[in-house]
Amino acid sequence: MVNANMRSSSAFVRWRKGLNWRGAVAVASFILLWQLLVRFKVPGFETIPTLSDVFSTFWTKYMLSAKYWKAWAVSFERVGYGFVISQVLGIPIGLLLGTRQMFHDVMFSVIEILRPIPPLAWVPISILFWPTNEMSIVFITFIGAFFIIVINVHDGVRSIKKEHLWLARSLGASPWRIFQRIIIPSVIPSIAVGMTLGIAVTWNVVIAAEMIASDTGLGRLTWEGYVSNTPAVVILGMISIGLAGYLSTKLVDYAEKKMMPWRKA
Amino acid sequence: MADARSIGRIAVKGVGKLYQRPKQPPVQVLDNCSFEIEPAKLTVLMGASGCGKSTLAYMIAGYLSPDKGSMTIDDISIVGPGPDRIMVFQETALWPWMTVIENVIFGPRALGSMSDAEARSKANALLTKFGLIEFRDKYPGQLSGGMKRRAELAQALINSPKIMILDEPFRGLDVMTRELMQEYYVGLFEETRLTTLFITAELEEAIFLADRLLIMGGSPSRIVKAIEVDLPHPRTWEVLTSERYLEIKEEIMRLLYQDQEAELLAQ
């Protein structure tokens, strides 16, 4: 929305209008409320640390701790492997499901049976099956994103406008060229959706899997804070996980923008 | 550029088409449909919405095949799509992930009939002619409706097809743009004399553009009347006020009302 006032205002006013000051006030109030609820020992908040407690714990014990940053690295690695493998396997399978009737007839029922099983329900069988703990955790993160991307890509292929394909055929394009220049780009938006949903699920799953089955990682760190009765570490873990998820989402967003240059135009 | 080609004669004989629908009885859309499309003429196919005009167009283009009857181009049966007949659809089929120029050079590059440099130079010439040269590196999403249509014409014409099929291409454009595009297209036709099948539901548009007008009607649909539109070329807006134009318009409206009356009486 443009109005004449904005152009003639000072830079400060423009800055202030651009900033979501209501949002900033809400966040500050939240932190203040939290601080007060703990200070005044409101029921339920007896063992909850304040944000300042969390911050001082971080500052003194964790910021320079190799173990803490290693936890970041380890969780990110698991998410990375699980996510990438799910895309590398899932995208071709989704494409095959949409383009080859034979493949669809054989595979679709199997996928539809396995898909409703939540990723975390796979934990015990995964531990039994895979030789190392690390592999079982990566497998769980993979499962979460895998079905999402398969379904999205399959749907994407089915939604391709017939005119887009017909025109290519009339213009004399070979089936391979049609696949490369028409089908794949048509499906990229669906891949983007699948990736965005997939990365969120991957983080959900990795944290829980770590709590159950591992001794490293941000999920494990959070859990250990609980069992060692240091709630400040629990909250620190939560904040760290939230940040890590946020960073991953931003990375995926960036990749999406690169994949679809015609959208931002 | 040579005009008055003798190629591009489409003969449709006794064509019928049945549409299968899930969980519903099939619909006989077309039956005993016969007509000819003459080369170097702009033939307009007119009829009410849903009467099967697009179906006929898809069959001529080769995307669907008739259940009965035959369709030939220059006495050769139509077996599938090909670059000799290019269709412009009701909704724009420009590929959104390619720029305008990439869309236009797709045909020659797919067939390998031109090198990249040749295709680009030919595309630039067409885009300049259609007033789109400044938009050649833009994406279709950045173009207006009328511009997209012109881009699609360039995309088709670069392949020097024998026949152009346009399915209500100006539908959905605002009235002013629509009239401009009509004048634009008939001017283009007069220059190239490229055999054209133009489909519309708009009577005035039909008469304005046509050398020959085919009226569809009946249920299942067939061609009920063929009218030679002997209005002079070049077609300009002045044609719309001539006596001959009004005569033709009256004749068709009478025909259409008769058709409607007969349907109502039959119920």
CB contact under 8 A, A172 and B96: no
Hey, of B63, B97, B111, which one would you mutate to test binding to chain A, going by the most A CBs within 10 A of its CB? B97
pLDDT for the residue numbered B98: 95
* B18 and B69 co-located in one domain: yes
Asked which of A75-84, B13-22, B192-201, B255-264 is least confident by mean pLDDT, the reply is B255-264
Contact predicate A84/A116, CB 8 Å: no
Same domain, A64 and A38: no
Instruction: Give the pLDDT band (50/70/90) at residue A265.
Output: low
Instruction: Provide DSSP, A77-146.
Output: HHHHHHHHHHHHHHHHHHHHHHH-HHHHHHHHHHHHHHTTS-GGGGHHHHHHHSSSHHHHHHHHHHHHHH
ipTM: 0.89
Q: Across all residues in chain B, what is the average pLDDT?
A: 89
Interatomic CA distance for residues B79 and B242, integer angstroms: 43
Do B139 and B41 have their domain in common? Answer: no
* B177 and B75 in a common domain: yes
Show the tokens assigned to A10. Answer: 């000072």
Judged by CB atoms closer than 8 Å, whether chains meet at A170 and B87 is answered as yes
On the question of pLDDT at B70 being above 50, the answer is: yes
Whether B77 and B173 map to the same domain: the answer is: yes
Residue B143 near chain A (CB below 8 Å): no
A174 in any annotated domain:
yes
Q: How far is A182 from chain B (nearest CA, A)?
A: 8
How many domains is chain B partitioned into structurally? 2
Domain ranges, residue B140: 91-160
Given pLDDT bands bounded at 50, 70 and 90, which one contains residue A228? very high
Residue A131 lies in a domain: yes
Q: Is the CB of residue B68 less than 8 Å from the CB of residue B119?
A: no
Cα distance between the two ends of chain A: 20
Kindly state whether residue A24 falls inside one of the protein's structural domains: yes
B145: tokens are: 């409706």
Return the higher-pLDDT residue of A63 and A184. A184
Q: List CB contacts (< 8 A) between A170 and chain B.
A: 61-62, 81-83, 85-87
- B169 and B258 together in one domain: yes
Instruction: Check whether residue B12 and residue B77 sit in a common domain.
Output: yes
Please judge whether B139 and A170 are an interchain contact, meaning their C-beta atoms are less than 8 angstroms apart: no
Give the pLDDT band of residue A125 (cuts 50, 70, 90).
very high
A27 lies in which domain range?
4-48
Residues B177 and B242 in one domain: yes
Does residue A66 sit within a domain? yes
- For A2-49, what is each residue's pLDDT tens digit? 555 555 567 777 666 667 888 889 999 999 999 899 888 888 888 888
pTM for the complete prediction? 0.83
Phi, psi of B223 (to 5 degrees): -80, 120
**Residues B259 and B193 both lie in one domain:** yes
Task: Give me the CATH number covering residue A77.
Answer: 1.10.3720.10
Asked if B87's CB is within 8 angstroms of A167's CB, the reply is yes
Taking CA–CA distances from A262, the nearest residue in chain B reads B97
Same domain (yes/no): B263, B200: yes
What percent of chain A is modeled with pLDDT above 70? 94
Work out how many domains chain A is built from and give that number: 2
